[in-house]
Structure 1
Amino acid sequence: MPRQQRTSIMWDENNRSLNGPFEPWHQEADTFDLEVVGEIPRELNGALYRTSSNPHVRPPHPNRYHWFDGDGMIYGVFLRDGRAHASSRWVRTAAFKVEEENGKAVYGSILNGGVPVDFSLNPPLKNPANTHVTLFDDRLLVFTEVDLPHELHPTTLETRGQYDYHGDVSGPVTAHWKTDPRNGDMLFYGVSGSTLTWYHANSHGKLLDSHQFDMGVACFLHDFIVTEDYAVFMITPTLFTGPEDLMAGKPTVVWDPETSNGTRFAVLDRHSGAVTFIDGDGAYSGTHFYNAYQEGSSIVIDGHRTDRWGWLSEESAAIEPGQDCNEWFDSMIAKPWRWVIDLSSQRLTRDYQTSDVVGEFPRINDEYALREHRFGYYATTQGTDRWLTDGLAKHDYRGDLTTTIPNAELVSPSEPVFVRRDNATSEDDGWMMSLWWNPFTRLSEMLIHDALHFDAEPVARIKLNQRVPMGFHGNWIDGAAIEAAVSSQTV
């Protein structure tokens, strides 16, 4: 089947989040026998599921549109016997249907405002369902911070409704749950105002434990880290401004170190529920985290750090009509970072940059979650001020060495996903999967690299017949798990 190009959707040529690799793509599709350059490893039987941020109608104010606002379209690239096919479907949330029925956008930007909240709408706020996706409890689930996850069929990707952990969870949950590799349990949390609720569910979705505490401020808390005994939350100066601004259609997130008293770590004892607050020695924000592990009385945390996340209060109040509302976000730099917390002294004892290669979307071999890892993988942002990412990186924490895959013909790689090789003999023995944008065809390609030989040419380059607008996160799911999930839903 020849690769197709679609007519460009040009809503605002100055808003990066609506152009290039971010440009919307509105066609749902199933495409088979995709063109492959190289050879897909035969042992790879399963699917790479990816989210995208993809507005299905023109935003009310395109200059205020933020990348986080786009509607979720889910992509599955299915591999079997060296062949590939791909499917894409909208996540048909309640808000998606409201806009579909109205024939236009009725919700503003949750970060940048632009449209006052209309409480006559059901729902009054939009759940974009665009952030993360995984298979859990024999269900394909799509997450975002503001609500419960949505359930999709694992192969058709059709939306089936929302998932509430068998009635045990009613509030919003994070898009950055963690999975305990020993048993498949899900470790996650939800935030409402300044209240954080910690959850632990078994692999069948049954809630086993829950604790709640007050963070002291209503901050934007996107990701966290967890060890065998602790969950750690970074409380940052990225604060929600309050319901008045939301209802008035004003920006709702500001950078306010004075109100937050800088950055703090909230360390939750997973067994007792006790919380210890530890000063972070400054004002900064963690964007995403690789992993954390215990080392004696210390917790070692690896992630990425930025010096500021959000409008300054005075900037937010001075936004003019037609102004570029994403300037602060587009210029943000996230650096690989390590924090070490000593629980005995309740102090941050080490705090330093781990690599000069800046970037975002960190991942590890998930088999090493909650315990010491050696390698981290991420998308680089070395020289791309237009399209966000420009290559991939592998960092060796023991050897203090960063290896990179620069862009060439392809640019703007997605978050890399590590897939363990059958009978692996080392932590980095596996495959690295990512989606890249081809600026010449304006379509996407999936690249598979050998993680052991990270900077070598990809072993396979799968040419998709569509563009996957730049999204956030995804996961590889083994074919046997997908088949079991489908079977469980037909019984």
Structure 2
Amino acid sequence: MPGRALTAEDEHMWDENNRSLNGPFEPWHQEADTFDLEVVGKIPLELNGSLYRTSSNPHVQPPHPNRYHWFDGDGMIYGVFLRDGRAHASSRWVRTAAFKVEEENGKAVYGSILNGGVPVDFSLDPPMKNPANTHVTLFDDRLLVFTEVDLPHELHPTTLETRGQYDYHGDVSGPVTAHWKTDPRNGDMLFYGVSGSTLTWYHANSHGKLLDSHQFDMGVACFLHDFVATEDYAVFMITPTLFTGPEDLMAGKPSVVWDPETSNGTRFAVLDRHSGAVTFIDGGGAYSGTHFYNAYQEGSSIVIDGHRTDRWGWLSEESAAIAPGQDCNEWFDSMVAKPWRWVLDLSSQRLTRDYQINDVVGEFPRINDEYALRKHRFGYYATTQGTDRWLTDGLAKHDYQGDLTATIPNAELVSPSEPVFVPRDNATSEDDGWMMSLWWNPFTRLAEMLIHDALHFDAEPVARIKLNQRVPMGFHGNWIDGAAIEAAVSSQTV
């Protein structure tokens, strides 16, 4: 399908004051396939595959637009397919059970996941909306889309049609979170699920067969979005972002609050992946990790790189005093995350070092995934330095060895997505590869995909692909090689 003119539907303003419904977050309601996309520059011929991205994209008007939060949008998955220097893009809704409930009703029936607004109705199936909008990857020859408190949904790798849910061949029945780690040596998936204060750790091989699991009590029911793993350990940051009780949910109140006193501040739970033993280490204050790059072992220490913020969630008194029509995203829109390093010593069971890496604030950190679970030198992320109201405004590359940070602004485009690193064929260094990201063009109100040479990070992009679709600001994504996609399609047609 070629690009189309904007229609009246595109011009809607459900709430012009809510950042999460406007600009690069503005919903896009058309599933589409666009071929022979315009390319400025040249797509490297070795890039044969697809960048799969999630978007947070409400398919119906929220019941209370002022309470709508970025996390609430339905999942629309985008695939930008590259081959022989050409590009096409596809987009499809992830048809979850909650999506179908609202589709059948012809309107929104769920309130905001974080901000409340509509009492939870336990007669609905499901009673709460948890859209498949957070992360996407190819695993076990299946394209899987992850969310926070549900099993992942499976999509066809090329048509992106929803095929149902994936339960690791019957081995996992409870929810799993949206972040996992892949062991680059064997393709195994390391992941976890949270139910109340109980965390369940899983290790599955590359064919989705569960190899191991352990369970422990975190002590509080906290919102635990990401983690890190090393060759021998998994580390979870237990923070003061706590889930509220069922009484609050049934009253339509926010689902999380910031409560440093109840949580006793921030702690690290270090799980021995082999024995299941857990060591709790004081984090030295009250703060929240947002996302992590990676972790690795050095002697008796674990080095952890990630981003942190001083607060994540409503204060209890704020939650109780929400006024009709109030902008419910004030705390979130003003949140600042900074790159940070923590060093945990297992012999003394103490946090021995923690410090801010640089002054370039931002989010969505990534590394060259071939260095996962072991020492890395480079990290990449989207900057959030406040040059506009659209959250992200550039990209950054940090060299941990040289303690240097390079940044990429763009004069025409804003709101870049999480950057995804793709190693070059026969790479000679950790940063020898391509950096892919989606940006928003404020003049066309559509998305563009930029490909940068990571070795020459702050140079002009080698290719700028105009998607002819809007990709509402989403969260995470991954590049999948064309051979892996072809193998997945073949395995499902046998």
Q: In 2, Cα distance between the equivalents of 1:385 and 1:194? A: 38
- Contact 1:5 1:466 (C-alpha < 8 Å) held by counterparts: no
**Partner-residue secondary structure (3-state), 2:102:** helix
Runs of 4+ in 1 over 2 A off after TM superposition: 1-8
Q: Which residue of 243, 252, 269 corresponds with 2:272?
A: 269
TM-score by length of 2: 0.98
The worse-fitting range, judged by mean Cα deviation, of 244-253 and 469-478 is: 244-253
1:70-108 deviation digits (Å, cap 9, x = unpaired): 000000000000000000000001110110110000001
- Structure 1 residue 383 displacement after superposition: 2.1
- Structure 1 residue 384 displacement after superposition: 3.6
- Structure 1 residue 5 displacement after superposition: 4.1
Q: In 2, Cα distance between the equivalents of 1:247 and 1:2? A: 46
1:35-90 deviation digits (Å, cap 9, x = unpaired): 00000000000000000000000000000000000000000000000000000000
1:163-200 deviation digits (Å, cap 9, x = unpaired): 00000001110100000000000000000000000000
Q: In 1, Cα distance between the equivalents of 2:123 and 2:198? A: 27
- Contact 1:91 1:158 (C-alpha < 8 Å) held by counterparts: yes
Q: Residue 4 of structure 2 corresponds to which residue in structure 1?
A: 4
Q: Residue 228 of structure 1 corresponds to which residue in structure 2?
A: 231
**Partner-residue secondary structure (3-state), 1:311:** coil
- Contact 2:3 2:34 (C-alpha < 8 Å) held by counterparts: no
Q: In 2, Cα distance between the equivalents of 1:70 and 1:4? A: 23
Q: In 2, Cα distance between the equivalents of 1:6 and 1:45? A: 31
- Contact 1:142 1:150 (C-alpha < 8 Å) held by counterparts: yes
Question: Does 2:405 align with 1:402?
Answer: yes
Q: Which residue of 13, 17, 20 corresponds with 1:17?
A: 20
- Structure 1 residue 32 displacement after superposition: 0.5
Q: In 1, Cα distance between the equivalents of 2:388 and 2:255? A: 25
**Partner-residue secondary structure (3-state), 1:84:** strand
- Structure 1 residue 313 displacement after superposition: 0.8
TM-score by length of 1: 0.99
Q: Which residue of 331, 334, 354 corresponds with 2:357?
A: 354
1:284-313 deviation digits (Å, cap 9, x = unpaired): 000000000000000000000100000111
Q: In 1, Cα distance between the equivalents of 2:300 and 2:121? A: 50
Q: In 1, Cα distance between the equivalents of 2:71 and 2:388? A: 18
**Partner-residue secondary structure (3-state), 2:436:** strand
Q: In 2, Cα distance between the equivalents of 1:280 and 1:153? A: 42
**Partner-residue secondary structure (3-state), 1:197:** strand
1:334-385 deviation digits (Å, cap 9, x = unpaired): 0000000000000000000001111000000000000000000000011245
Alignment CA distance shift 1:321-1:163 (3 Å): same
Question: Does 2:101 align with 1:87?
Answer: no
**Partner-residue secondary structure (3-state), 2:331:** helix
1:434-457 deviation digits (Å, cap 9, x = unpaired): 000000000000000000000000
- Contact 1:238 1:310 (C-alpha < 8 Å) held by counterparts: yes
- Contact 2:67 2:115 (C-alpha < 8 Å) held by counterparts: yes
Q: Residue 458 of structure 2 corresponds to which residue in structure 1?
A: 455
Q: Which residue of 200, 222, 243 corresponds with 1:219?
A: 222
1:107-162 deviation digits (Å, cap 9, x = unpaired): 01111001111122121111200000000000000000110000000000000000
- Contact 1:141 1:150 (C-alpha < 8 Å) held by counterparts: yes
Q: In 1, Cα distance between the equivalents of 2:462 and 2:410? A: 16
**Partner-residue secondary structure (3-state), 1:281:** coil
Q: In 2, Cα distance between the equivalents of 1:408 and 1:423? A: 33
1:253-309 deviation digits (Å, cap 9, x = unpaired): 100000000000000000000000000000000000000000000000000010000
Number of residue pairs the alignment of both structures matches: 490
**Partner-residue secondary structure (3-state), 2:458:** coil
**Partner-residue secondary structure (3-state), 1:21:** helix
Q: In 1, Cα distance between the equivalents of 2:244 and 2:384? A: 30
- Contact 2:75 2:93 (C-alpha < 8 Å) held by counterparts: yes
- Contact 1:265 1:277 (C-alpha < 8 Å) held by counterparts: yes
User: What are the ranges of 5 or more consecutive residues in structure 1 without an aligned counterpart?
Assistant: none
1:199-231 deviation digits (Å, cap 9, x = unpaired): 000000000000000000000000000000000
Equivalent runs, 1:67-78 vs 2, <5 Å: 67-78=70-81
Q: Which residue of 465, 475, 480 corresponds with 2:478?
A: 475
Q: In 1, Cα distance between the equivalents of 2:481 and 2:183? A: 17
Q: In 2, Cα distance between the equivalents of 1:373 and 1:304? A: 16
1:388-426 deviation digits (Å, cap 9, x = unpaired): 000000000000000000131000000000000000000
- Contact 2:113 2:130 (C-alpha < 8 Å) held by counterparts: no
- Structure 1 residue 4 displacement after superposition: 3.0
- Contact 1:331 1:385 (C-alpha < 8 Å) held by counterparts: no
- Contact 2:2 2:35 (C-alpha < 8 Å) held by counterparts: no
- Contact 1:330 1:385 (C-alpha < 8 Å) held by counterparts: no
Alignment CA distance shift 1:272-1:63 (3 Å): same
Q: In 1, Cα distance between the equivalents of 2:365 and 2:480? A: 18
Q: Which residue of 180, 187, 190 corresponds with 1:187?
A: 190
- Contact 1:263 1:280 (C-alpha < 8 Å) held by counterparts: yes
1:2-26 deviation digits (Å, cap 9, x = unpaired): 6434236x10000000000000000
Q: Residue 418 of structure 1 corresponds to which residue in structure 2?
A: 421
- Contact 1:5 1:441 (C-alpha < 8 Å) held by counterparts: no
- Contact 1:304 1:335 (C-alpha < 8 Å) held by counterparts: yes
RMSD: 0.8
- Contact 1:148 1:162 (C-alpha < 8 Å) held by counterparts: yes
Q: Which residue of 260, 263, 269 corresponds with 1:257?
A: 260
Q: In 2, Cα distance between the equivalents of 1:271 and 1:330? A: 40
Q: Residue 207 of structure 1 corresponds to which residue in structure 2?
A: 210
Alignment CA distance shift 1:214-1:332 (3 Å): same
- Contact 1:5 1:443 (C-alpha < 8 Å) held by counterparts: no
Q: In 2, Cα distance between the equivalents of 1:5 and 1:347? A: 59
Q: In 2, Cα distance between the equivalents of 1:337 and 1:355? A: 8
- Contact 2:2 2:34 (C-alpha < 8 Å) held by counterparts: no
Q: In 2, Cα distance between the equivalents of 1:355 and 1:485? A: 41
Q: In 1, Cα distance between the equivalents of 2:231 and 2:341? A: 19
Alignment CA distance shift 1:14-1:212 (3 Å): same
Q: In 2, Cα distance between the equivalents of 1:361 and 1:200? A: 24
- Contact 1:393 1:405 (C-alpha < 8 Å) held by counterparts: yes
Q: In 2, Cα distance between the equivalents of 1:38 and 1:270? A: 46
Q: Residue 305 of structure 1 corresponds to which residue in structure 2?
A: 308
User: What are the ranges of 5 or more consecutive residues in structure 2 without an aligned counterpart?
Assistant: none
Q: Which residue of 359, 369, 372 corresponds with 1:366?
A: 369
Question: Does 2:159 align with 1:156?
Answer: yes
